[in-house]
Amino acid sequence: MRVYNFSAGPAVLPEEVLKEAAAEMLDYNGTGMSVMEMSHRSKAFEEIITTAEQDLRDLMNIPDNYKVLFLQGGASQQFAMIPMNLMKNKKAAYIITGQWAKKAYQEAQNYGDAVAVASSADKTFSYIPDCSDLDIPEDADYVYICENNTIYGTKFKQLPNTKGKTLVADVSSCFLSEPVDVTKYGIIYGGVQKNIGPAGVVIVIIREDLITEDTLPGTPTMLKYKTHADNKSLYNTPPAYGIYICGKVFKWLKKMGGLEAMKERNEKKAKILYDFLDQSKLFKGTVEKKDRSLMNVPFVTGNEELDAKFVKEAKAAGFENLKGHRTVGGMRASIYNAMPIEGVEKLVEFMKKFEEENA
CB of 78 to ligand PLP, least distance (A): 8
Residues of this chain, 7-26, that bind ligand PLP according to CB under 6 A = 9
The catalytically annotated residue of 55, 67, 91, 100 is 100
Is 146 a binding residue for ligand PLP by CB under 6 A? The answer is yes
CB of 31 to ligand PLP, least distance (A): 30
291 labelled catalytic: no
Q: Which is nearer to ligand PLP, 172 or 233 (CB)?
A: 172
Is 75 a binding residue for ligand PLP by CB under 6 A? The answer is yes
Q: Which is nearer to ligand PLP, 11 or 38 (CB)?
A: 11
The CA distance from 233 to 177, in Å, is 24
The catalytically annotated residue of 67, 91, 165, 194 is 194
The strand order across the sheet containing 331-334 reads 284-285, 296-300, 331-334
Q: Which is nearer to ligand PLP, 75 or 277 (CB)?
A: 75
CB of 257 to ligand PLP, least distance (A): 25
Strands 142-146 and 91-96: parallel
| Cβ-proximal residues to 117 (8 Å cutoff; 6+ apart), any chain | 93, 94, 95, 134, 135, 136, 143
Question: Collapsing DSSP states into helix, strand and coil, what is residue 98?
Answer: coil
Residues of this chain, 336-355, that bind ligand PLP according to CB under 6 A = none
Run of H or E residues at 249: helix 240-255
Q: What is the DSSP string of 103-156?
A: HHHHHHTTTSEEEEEEE-GGGTT-S----SS----TT-SEEEEESEETTTTEE-
The CA distance from 142 to 132, in Å, is 16
Of the candidates 251, 252, 256, which has an alpha carbon nearest to the alpha carbon of residue 269? Answer: 256
CA torsion 337→339→340→342, rounded to 10°? Answer: -140
Distances (CA, A) of 227 to 54, 91, 130, 224, 255: 20, 23, 37, 5, 33
Q: Which of 97, 162, 173, 337 binds ligand PLP (CB under 6 A)?
A: 173
Q: Is residue 24 within 8 Å of residue 18, measured between CB atoms?
A: no
Q: Which is nearer to ligand PLP, 193 or 301 (CB)?
A: 193
141 labelled catalytic: no
Is 194 a binding residue for ligand PLP by CB under 6 A? The answer is yes
Q: Which of 6, 45, 70, 100 binds ligand PLP (CB under 6 A)?
A: 100
The CA distance from 238 to 40, in Å, is 7
Stretch that binds ligand PLP, among 43-51, 111-119, 165-173, 347-355 (CB under 6 A): 165-173
The CA distance from 202 to 74, in Å, is 5
Is 170 a binding residue for ligand PLP by CB under 6 A? The answer is yes
Q: Which is nearer to ligand PLP, 146 or 351 (CB)?
A: 146
The catalytically annotated residue of 141, 170, 291, 307 is 170
170 labelled catalytic: yes
Q: Which of 74, 179, 258, 340 binds ligand PLP (CB under 6 A)?
A: 74
Residues binding ligand PLP (CB under 6 A): 9, 74-76, 100, 146, 150, 170, 172-173, 191, 194
Q: Annotated catalytic sites, by residue?
A: 100, 170, 194
